[in-house]
Amino acid sequence: MAFPAEFLEELKKRNGIVDVINSYVPLKRAGNLYKACCPFHNEKTPSFYVYTGNDEHFYCYGCGAGGDVITFVMKAENTDYPSAVELLARRANLTVPNDGYNREASDKRKRTLDANREAARFFHNQLVSGNYPEASGYIKSRRLEAAVNRFGLGFCPPGKKLFNYMTDLGFKPKELQDAFLCNRGNYDIFENRIIFPVIDASGNVVGFSARSMEKKPADGRKYINTNDTAAFNKRRNLFALNLAKNSKSDYFILCEGQTDVIALHLSGFDSAIASLGTSFTEEQAQLIRRFRNKVLLCYDGDEAGRSKAVPAIKILNDAGIETKVITLPDGFDPDEFIQKYGKDRFELLIGQSIGQMDYRIGKALEGFDVSSADGRVAAADKLAEIISASPSPVEREIYTEKYAK
């Protein structure tokens, strides 16, 4: 790494690993080392150890996570090496030496975040200015008025307005291009679109999702999402996590798209989140694990939604996150369901999804002696009967696999 070795040594000396980790998970002393329940996988008995002395490090015998204090911060903050170093430097009042490649990367990230913040402000002001009736009209027609402030929605006007505004503020064209705000010809990429800022758990505007106001956009793209930049990686971000993490619910509701998330939040389900233009990733599961152990999956009630749900459930389960499925009626997405039936009916769906199948299967199995071959055959028949009666193909597939053993 391009940070000078002496600097890294000083950084580690001033950021004792026990102190740092203890601010994330409470450590218990065990002889000359420390232990805790692992912050990176789900466990009830501690297998996460912190070793002190000359070679300070941590290791989890459960999931294999391990490394020094910088690695720990990278994992815990879901961030890259330079940013973790910077965070620790700030914590210890150290100045990061200004002579390495990493410094450049972290400067770039900071500059991109600054550009995003200014752009988000600009977009928002344009939308609330009333100067663009087509944008305000769209917000009204989609019943998004209450979301404008809560989600910082905005509008990107036509005619290089953002480019001109940002260059007046001192941003260079190259910086705006690298931030995925303008293209190589310096035109605003999100022109004529409604803007949904993507804000990370620390409150940074990391990127944008921009929706066309037309039913059939001329370029065929309903949404344009920020490409990967110095500040954004769509595999590692979740829409509305910044709000959902503060919810009183002990679970997240995971949806497919931001309009679903917004509809749920506006109806009081403030723990809804969504992945952004990607199928659900392991990185997103790790991110969720930092805040909750439980997810209710609420994908669209159609074939496409169901086929996306199954891999998402596997990834969540593998990350040690308890997962249930909210079954929407055929052809409904969460937004449409709430518009049509209201929030009380959605609340009912949440109630029905939780543990229903496990509960019923557990009950049914009580009557069978699974230690005998005959008993197992009879139990399997009963299971097949219950599972095949489920109206949800996703549930059927999950439970068939789960109870096949």
State yes or no: residue 25 binds Zn ion (CB under 5 A). Answer: no
Residues 240-299 that bind Zn ion (CB under 5 A): none
Give the separation between CA 38 and CA 202, rounded to whole angstroms.
22
* Closest separation in Å from C-beta 33 to Zn ion: 16
Among 8, 18, 63, 364, binds Zn ion (CB under 5 A): 63
- The length of the chain in residues reads 405
Using CB under 5 A, count the residues that bind Zn ion. Answer: 6
Give the separation between CA 296 and CA 346, rounded to whole angstroms.
12
Nearer to Zn ion, 30 or 146 (CB): 30
| Cα distances (angstroms) measured from residue 26 to each of 37, 39, 200 | 9, 10, 25
State yes or no: residue 62 binds Zn ion (CB under 5 A). Answer: yes
Among 36, 60, 115, 238, binds Zn ion (CB under 5 A): 60
Nearer to Zn ion, 91 or 290 (CB): 290
Dihedral, 167, 169, 174, 175 alpha carbons, nearest 10 = -150
* Closest separation in Å from C-beta 160 to Zn ion: 50
Burial (Cβ within 10 Å: 0-12, 13-18, ≥19) of residue 297: buried
Nearer to Zn ion, 63 or 213 (CB): 63
Nearer to Zn ion, 45 or 54 (CB): 45
**Listed ranges 20-28, 36-44, 84-92, 353-361: which one lies at the site for Zn ion (CB under 5 A):** 36-44
User: In the beta sheet, which residues pair with residue 34?
Assistant: 29, 50
**Listed ranges 56-64, 71-79, 126-134, 296-304: which one lies at the site for Zn ion (CB under 5 A):** 56-64
Nearer to Zn ion, 62 or 152 (CB): 62
Query: What is the DSSP track for 225-240?
Result: EPPS-SS--GGG--BT
**Listed ranges 49-57, 61-69, 327-335, 354-362: which one lies at the site for Zn ion (CB under 5 A):** 61-69
Give the separation between CA 306 and CA 327, rounded to whole angstroms.
10
State yes or no: residue 41 binds Zn ion (CB under 5 A). Answer: yes
Nearer to Zn ion, 37 or 213 (CB): 37
The three-state secondary structure class of 71 is helix
Closest CA to 237 of 263, 206, 210: 206
Pairing of strands 252-255, 272-274: parallel
Query: What is the DSSP track for 252-317?
Result: EEEESSHHHHHHHHHTT-TTEEE--SS---HHHHHHHHTT-SEEEEE--SSHHHHHHHHHHHHHHH
**Listed ranges 1-9, 31-39, 250-258, 397-405: which one lies at the site for Zn ion (CB under 5 A):** 31-39
For 239, the token pair is 């829409």
State yes or no: residue 21 binds Zn ion (CB under 5 A). Answer: no
* Closest separation in Å from C-beta 38 to Zn ion: 3
State yes or no: residue 40 binds Zn ion (CB under 5 A). Answer: yes
Q: Which helix (H) or strand (E) holds 368?
A: none
* Closest separation in Å from C-beta 28 to Zn ion: 16
Main-chain phi, psi angles of 305, to 5 degrees: -60, -45
* Closest separation in Å from C-beta 73 to Zn ion: 16
State yes or no: residue 155 binds Zn ion (CB under 5 A). Answer: no
**Listed ranges 40-48, 285-293, 333-341, 385-393: which one lies at the site for Zn ion (CB under 5 A):** 40-48
* Closest separation in Å from C-beta 291 to Zn ion: 17
Nearer to Zn ion, 25 or 394 (CB): 25
Residues 331-370 that bind Zn ion (CB under 5 A): none
Nearer to Zn ion, 40 or 252 (CB): 40
* Closest separation in Å from C-beta 21 to Zn ion: 13
b/e 285-294 (16+ beta carbons within 10 angstroms → b): bbbbbbbbeb
Residues lying near Zn ion in the complex (CB under 5 A) are found at 38, 40-41, 60, 62-63
